[in-house]
Amino acid sequence: MSRDAFTADPVLILAPLGRDAMVASSILKQAGLPTQVCADLPCLLRDMEAGAAAAVVVEEALHNADLAALARWIAEQPAWSDFPFVLLAHKGAGPERTPGAGRLSTVLGNVSFLERPFHPTTLVSQLQTALRGRRRQYEARERMEEIRSAEALLERRVEERTGELASANRQLATQIAERERVESALRQSQRLEAVGQLTSGVAHDFNNLLTVVLGNVRLIQRTASEPALVRRLDMMNQAAERGAKLTAQLLAFSRRQKLEPKAVDLNDTVSGMQDLLQSTIGGSVRLQTRLEPALWAAMIDPTQIELVILNLAINASHAMEVGGGLTVETANVRLGEPRRPEEPPAGDYVMVAVSDTGSGMTEEVLTKAFEPFFTTKAVGVGSGLGLSQVFGLAKQSGGGVRIDTELGVGTSVRVYLPRAADVATEVRAVVGRPAQAADDLTVLVVDDDEAVREITAVLLRDLGYGVVEAGSGGAALDLLERQPGVQLVLLDFAMPGMNGGEVAREIKARRPHLPVLFATGYADAEALVEAGEGRVIRKPFVSDELASKVAAAVAAAVTPRPNGAAHA
């Protein structure tokens, strides 16, 4: 209550007998104090509850009255309140003298006794003292309310600030976690890139070795007649061919080999991979295949689809406990409109699916399955690129992917590849001696690996060509200056100093019409794209492939142009 409200509260007067109420009211009004006369004790209690500054009560009005309600009201006052009473008593009737006055003092609490007869000034003075105390009580209440309001405001601000700090901490924690995830993905990507560079370098060196091995094995096979020797040479040849296939897979893993879509029989692909798949997923996982008997041919890079099946099998094995089952199946399918973005458009497709009996995927995981770097495996176990690469290959090839999964039952990843139309039967090369070239045609063989250079020269001489050799790009250019009769250059691409591309540009500047054929064990797809497949022979090569590529290059070089000039 404000001070203005307090000054408006009346002083209650309870003096039901005689003229005491009128006299007391007159005295207080002359002193400028508002008054209100109460007829009896219940009236006094009602007016106190409604609001009053103090009460003047004559002793006789309380002697025989029931004071329980009054005592209860006084006892239930707020902690800040102590309502003041001025009790008009007979002379000599103070609380220390009469039991009745003592009882009233106990009930009323904040009471002061004024003996009658009294001087008006004494009544006014005593009542003003009581009112000053009452005013301080109201001021104390206002301070308490202000303190409580300030405390509440402070608590709200503390809660708000605490909430803001908690939100900021959550955002910071989220940002830190996201940064750590990105950094981890970057580290994994860098490791993958490093592994890719390592594997491509290994593949290059390995292909050089296989060129020497295969070349020499096949040269010896031509003269070998002893059955045991022939059998061992066949075994060496098969092992070397498997090594060549392995290097092709390494190059595909390092993403240094361009896609070369061909008509592929996926049944043959899956059948040829069974031993590799079983050894990769381990003996604790059961492997079975379900192959469509009349499967259409699929248009896909054969090396890449092998890696896709292998990666899906590895992912499936990680999702299964010991004793799980893995199924690889093929089928001809006709799809309707896609249900998800990763699925292919409506049409005919050749499907290869890898299914497991593992833990399955939640809907949340399924929606992120094709995102790069997303993985549910432990940190360092996987890069999170497997399914994204599968999806990318399928889409790039004109197909798509669908995942069917159920928690606790397993997952099936179905890869849909475009059907190859009007595919001619692949004609496999027949091992035998090719047609001989003209004896007067000289080929310059340039390779920094002496063993590779030697076997290449032997194969060319065996085909009837004259051969000169150079171990570096600089030596090749110097030799061309001294031997103008060279009519073809067989050039290794990856060489120290000047690589094959730089040597070829220099040759073209000096002898524009001299044909150049690149030989490489490295997948220099981007660097050799201008040369065209007809001018690139990939290590390890055999005499049949070497013969056909050299013959084609020579034929193109001597074919007259419309204006009479020859092709370079």
What's the rounded mean pLDDT across residues 213-232?
A: 82
DSSP-derived 3-state class of residue 307: helix
Cβ-Cβ contacts under 8 Å for 544 (sequence gap 6 or more): 429, 431, 432, 434
**3-118 shares its CATH topology with 262-418:** no
Q: Domain 442-558: which topology?
A: Rossmann fold (3.40.50)
Tokens for 232?
């061992």
CATH topology of domain 262-418: Heat Shock Protein 90 (3.30.565)
Average pLDDT along the chain: 79
Query: For the ranges 13-22, 422-431, 500-509, 531-540, which has the lowest average pLDDT?
Result: 422-431
Asked if 271 contacts 290 with a C-beta cutoff of 8 angstroms, the reply is no
CA distances from 342 to 213, 399, 444 (A): 44, 9, 51
More confidently predicted of 366 and 26: 26
Render pLDDT for 154-191 as a digit per residue (tens, 0 to 9): 999 999 999 899 999 999 998 998 888 777 656 655 66
Homologous superfamily in CATH for domain 3-118:
Response regulator (3.40.50.2300)
* Rounded Cα distance, 483 and 495, in Å: 22
The domain locations on the chain are 3-118, 262-418, 442-558
Q: Which amino acid is at 561?
A: R
Q: What is the 3-state secondary structure (H, E, C) of 327-367?
A: EEEEEEEEECCCCCCCCCCCEEEEEEEEEECCCCCCHHHHH
pTM above 0.95, yes or no: no
In the beta sheet, which residues pair with residue 333? 349
pLDDT computed for residue 311 by the predictor = 81
pLDDT, tens digit, 9 for 90 and up, residues 263-306: 999 999 898 888 888 877 777 788 888 999 999 999 988 878 88
Contact present, 5 and 53 (Cβ < 8 Å) = no
